[in-house]
Amino acid sequence: MSVQKNDFSKWYIDTIQKADLMDYTPVRGCIAFKPDGYELWERIQAEMDRRFKETGHRNAYFPMLIPESFFQKEKDHIEGFSPELPWVTEAAGEQLEERLALRPTSETMIGHLYSDWIKSYRDLPVLINQWANVFRWEKKTLPFIRTSEFLWQEGHTAHVDEEDARKETMQMLQIYKEVVEDLLAIPVYDGQKTPSERFAGAVDTYSIEAMMKDGKAVQAGTSHYLGTKFAEAFDIKYLNKENKHVHVHTTSWGTSTRLIGAMIMVHGDEQGLVLPPKMAPTQVVLIPVGPWKKKPEIIEKLDEVFAELKAKGIRVKLDDSDQSPGYKFNEWELKGVPVRIELGPRDLENGQALMKARDAEEKEAVSLEQLVASIENELTVMQTRLLEKAKQFREENSHTHIDTMEQLKNHIEEAQAAGNVPGWILSGWCGEDACEEQVKEETKFTTRNIPFNPPAEKKVCVNCGNEAKHSVWFGRAY
């Protein structure tokens, strides 16, 4: 196992492979999601889907192949995506007349169809979501975080006016924030992207941004107000109450399997994965220890606890394999199982078991009568504790005292020299693309977002020193 502190990337790759979450494949940048990895996605899906439906959205499915001509209709969109598109050029032994792109996102196909589906104000809002695979042929890939094919959901909604569309954009961003914080125990900053970081074709892009343990940022979800740009490109108009044909206002919003990668990079430690209890495929593992084979009461007791936990809907495993306890401990820690219970002859005599939370230093003795209740409680407490720990890490590595490029460079150098993570910097920004670009060139820090609730008010642009229009998070990003 690689040491997390020394080489975070290597630690990450080692961890997800050893924990059996994924495997590489011979197709460039495409991974296989193994069952323990895919189950993480299923939990994210279930919770997101529930929230989407609660807020009136329905799922649909659109073709994966998109005609080249569709991309040409919105010029920002094609500019942004064309460098990354894979193309189908032949099928069933024949050359196609028009190349078909593997969808990188579906605004164009959906825009084309919405122009047929939407006729009157009575048809609005259209609130549709799609669960799908998408493709972006990127140069550098990293499992879960950036892959040529990935899984995601993409919401596509159409509204009578800007106000309604902007409300939707914000509502979905807030749902993302809640799910990512509550389920994945990842604290995020919600805010607005700068123009240079906008989705190709958006009027405004909003994001939630999370800090990994190496201090880098992962954009964990985005929500776009698209204005009438796609409505104009695809002629999506409706007859309003005043009997006029006007363009709809559209939104789109997405989260993807990169959330799995973010969760691992936020909570993982030197021993491997650390899974928030709500996410863990296995929440509790029961392990007999000592000369337990000579004492059948031990397995009997564990069987009983197993059945009780199961009945409560807790995902539990009993590891009665022939491996040594030490081997088992390592194995289950690597897989990030939140709670481990050990029971040996001595424990049984004392009417207790040992409980070890994955993120705790010490084991805890728990009376057998209280065991099930204690486990339940620990699962709840740990979920919150992981979020709090991640928040604390983020606060420790968020810096608001930097006002100039020189200070920024010094900060990064000093952090690197000391073996610390440079983290994120909240700095002032005048609003000029050029200043943003300059920071990126000199430090590799990019703007993450303009947080809705910045922890400080910054007054001057970190690059030009002019008056700041915004306080912006800067950081290295995945």
CB of 252 to a second copy, least distance (A): 16
The entry of Zn ion, a second copy, none near residue 245 (CB within 5 to 8 angstroms by kind) is: none
The entry of a second copy, Zn ion, none near residue 430 (CB within 5 to 8 angstroms by kind) is: Zn ion
Is residue 435 part of the contact set for Zn ion (CB under 5 A)? yes
Q: Cβ closer to Zn ion: 2 or 404?
A: 404
Q: Cβ closer to a second copy: 82 or 407?
A: 82
The entry of Zn ion, a second copy, none near residue 85 (CB within 5 to 8 angstroms by kind) is: a second copy
Torsions phi, psi for 133 (to 5 deg): -95, 140
CB of 438 to Zn ion, least distance (A): 8
What is the three-class DSSP state of 353?
strand
Is residue 443 part of the contact set for Zn ion (CB under 5 A)? no
The entry of Zn ion, a second copy, none near residue 239 (CB within 5 to 8 angstroms by kind) is: none
| Angle (nearest 5°) at CA 166 between 163 and 171 | 125
The entry of Zn ion, a second copy, none near residue 121 (CB within 5 to 8 angstroms by kind) is: none
Contact residue for Zn ion among 461, 470, 471, 473 (CB under 5 A):
461
Residues 6 or more apart in contact with residue 97 via CB below 8 angstroms? none
Stretch binding Zn ion (CB under 5 A), from 161-169, 316-324, 397-405, 428-436: 428-436
Is residue 468 part of the contact set for Zn ion (CB under 5 A)? no
CB of 77 to a second copy, least distance (A): 17
The entry of Zn ion, a second copy, none near residue 116 (CB within 5 to 8 angstroms by kind) is: a second copy
Contact status, residue 308 vs residue 372, Cβ threshold 8 Å: yes
Q: How many CB atoms lie within 10 A of CB 24?
A: 14
Tell me whether residue 433 is exposed, middle or buried, using C-beta atoms within 10 angstroms of its C-beta: 0 to 12, 13 to 18, 19 or more: exposed
Is residue 30 part of the contact set for Zn ion (CB under 5 A)? no
Nearest to 4 by CA among 211, 261, 359, 268: 268
Structure tokens at 156: 């596509």
What is the three-class DSSP state of 400?
coil
Nearest to 353 by CA among 284, 286, 280, 277: 286
Q: Cβ closer to a second copy: 200 or 208?
A: 200
Which residue is listed with tokens 């409505």?
Answer: 231
Stretch binding Zn ion (CB under 5 A), from 13-21, 148-156, 163-171, 454-462: 454-462
Report d(CA 278, CA 281) in Å as an integer: 9
The entry of a second copy, Zn ion, none near residue 435 (CB within 5 to 8 angstroms by kind) is: Zn ion
CB of 478 to a second copy, least distance (A): 19
Q: What residue ranges bind a second copy (CB under 8 A)?
A: 23, 25-27, 30-35, 37-39, 41-42, 58-67, 83-93, 100, 102, 109, 112-113, 116-117, 128, 132-133, 137, 139, 149, 151
Q: Cβ closer to a second copy: 137 or 478?
A: 137
Report d(CA 190, CA 206) in Å as an integer: 7
Report d(CA 47, CA 61) in Å as an integer: 19
Angle between helices 162-182 and 35-54 (to 10 degrees): 140
Nearest to 390 by CA among 209, 215, 267, 208: 267
Contact residue for Zn ion among 279, 430, 439, 472 (CB under 5 A):
430
CB of 430 to Zn ion, least distance (A): 3
Nearest to 408 by CA among 432, 441, 384: 441
CB of 122 to Zn ion, least distance (A): 48
CB of 195 to a second copy, least distance (A): 25
Is residue 226 part of the contact set for Zn ion (CB under 5 A)? no
| Angle (nearest 5°) at CA 351 between 349 and 353 | 105
Q: How many CB atoms lie within 10 A of CB 131?
A: 16
Q: How many CB atoms lie within 10 A of CB 86?
A: 13
Report d(CA 71, CA 119) in Å as an integer: 23
Stretch binding Zn ion (CB under 5 A), from 69-77, 172-180, 277-285, 459-467: 459-467
What is the three-class DSSP state of 314?
coil
The entry of Zn ion, a second copy, none near residue 306 (CB within 5 to 8 angstroms by kind) is: none
CB of 61 to a second copy, least distance (A): 4
Is residue 460 part of the contact set for Zn ion (CB under 5 A)? no
Contacting positions for Zn ion (CB under 5 A)? 430, 432, 435, 461, 463-464
